[in-house]
Structure 1
């Protein structure tokens, strides 16, 4: 059975402690994966928080938890998450991407390369793996508006622009997202945008379901996309 592909806007780390409409939607999606498909053997995550020069795959049997955020409540730093590594998945990735190597530190690449890697890894969906991109369409921590529960005009425009392209599957324009006049505001660094490119490559031609289509604190977008649901 071919598993779906998911891009999720993760937003503030506080979402790990919150119980709201956003987290309820995440819960529903997890339940849909299991009920409409099957429980994945493992999850391959394209994360905005795995950052270095080059492209690598992780092989650690017990990936470490990193608290790469500051100034949050004590309760957040007490959240424990200890997933197990999956050597079979690592081996399958290396078979599909023979030019990359193992690195249990951090990694990032450019938009076209990210898209091409996602495309190369699409066969993993047929092997029982769920592909998950975790980032944000709009992510500018320097322009946060703490008293604004919604998005700024720039955030709303850019989010709508990208969502429109995803609906049309105009991947070429998304790869060149920096051409948009709001891109410098919405994605001043590529780290949180690139996970979307991996998922688009892994789900070529598939129409998205859109979830959590909201902006908050001015310059964050929580918008996410589901690919492959209803196409089993």
Structure 2
């Protein structure tokens, strides 16, 4: 079987789930390419910023619950259903590869960092999904190392898929700004350029950039990118949705193949 790609998605606001715009059309395009591929993934290992937990956990539920982990949005968003199945074979493979570093935990589910994007990429929910937590205790280089340990899953037909944001600062949101602030634009460009050039050290050591504290005030939304980098290995990246919005959100997304 041909090795599956690795995907990182900038997901932004939960309203993405019910939006129809250039960002969602690009997600639909990438998803259609995967669905129409002769090597359609057997299942997806999803690493969402919104399962930010004090450990590395993997789900085992046959029918993981949909988590509406956001507040104050239109009722239409809470009525949206994404009835995805789990995949016991993928859960077992992750446990085998990570050993004592991972444990099964079904207290969470499929959160909006995952389903708000997948309703566009894989709208029929035909590909099973298993979420892996983002471990809040890990250093950046350890996130990359976990991704490397999981990379062989790609040769077994599993898609490794991360969801977060390179720039994510909700305290600095500019509601009337359709673009990015200078700080967001500079930091996002710096990370995108280094991902595309394969300069992983710069992405790992993002704190050295002058706009890091503005762009990554907490690491939860940045860390999924690091898991993806590890899983991608030496594969080259292409970028899509390479824009910032609402001042302090970067929607930059990548495919490695």
Q: Would you say same fold, with TM above 0.5?
A: yes
1:53: how far off? Answer: 0.5
Distance 1:164 1:77, change over 3 A: same
Task: Provide the rounded CA distance (Å) in 2 between the counterparts of 1:119 and 1:103.
Answer: 22
Matches of 1:34 and 1:67 in 2, distance apart?
Answer: 26
Partners of 2:134 and 2:224 within 8 A in 1: no
1:123 and 2:149 are equivalent in the alignment = no
Q: How does 1:1-232 map to 2 (within 5 A)?
A: 1-99=2-100, 100-105=102-107, 107-109=133-135, 110=138, 111-228=140-257
Deviation per residue, 1:10-43 (Å, 9 max, x gap) = 1110011011111110010011113344221100
RMSD over aligned Cα atoms:
1.1
Find runs of 4+ consecutive structure 1 residues off by over 3 angstroms.
none
User: SS state of the match for residue 3, structure 1?
Assistant: coil
SS in structure 2 opposite 1:50? Answer: strand
Equivalents in 2 of 1:3, 1:37: separation in Å? 11
Q: Secondary structure at the match of 1:150?
A: coil
User: Quick check: 1:50–1:105 contact (8 Å CA) kept in 2?
Assistant: no
The alpha-carbon deviation at position 81 of structure 1 amounts to: 1.2
* TM-superposition CA deviations, 1:47-86 (whole Å, max 9, x none): 1011210111111111111111111111111111121110
Contact 1:3 1:37 in 2 (8 A): no
Equivalent pairs, count: 228
The answer (yes or no) to whether the contact 2:47–2:134 under 8 Å persists in 1 is no
What secondary structure does 1:108 align onto?
strand
Query: Counterpart of 2:119?
Result: none
Of residues 207-216 and 63-72 in structure 1, the stretch that sits farther from structure 2 once superposed is 63-72
**TM-score, scaled relative to structure 1:** 0.95
- Do the aligned partners of 1:11 and 1:220 also contact (CA within 8 Å) in 2? yes
What 5-or-longer segments of structure 1 have no aligned partner? none
Provide the rounded CA distance (Å) in 2 between the counterparts of 1:105 and 1:184.
Answer: 31
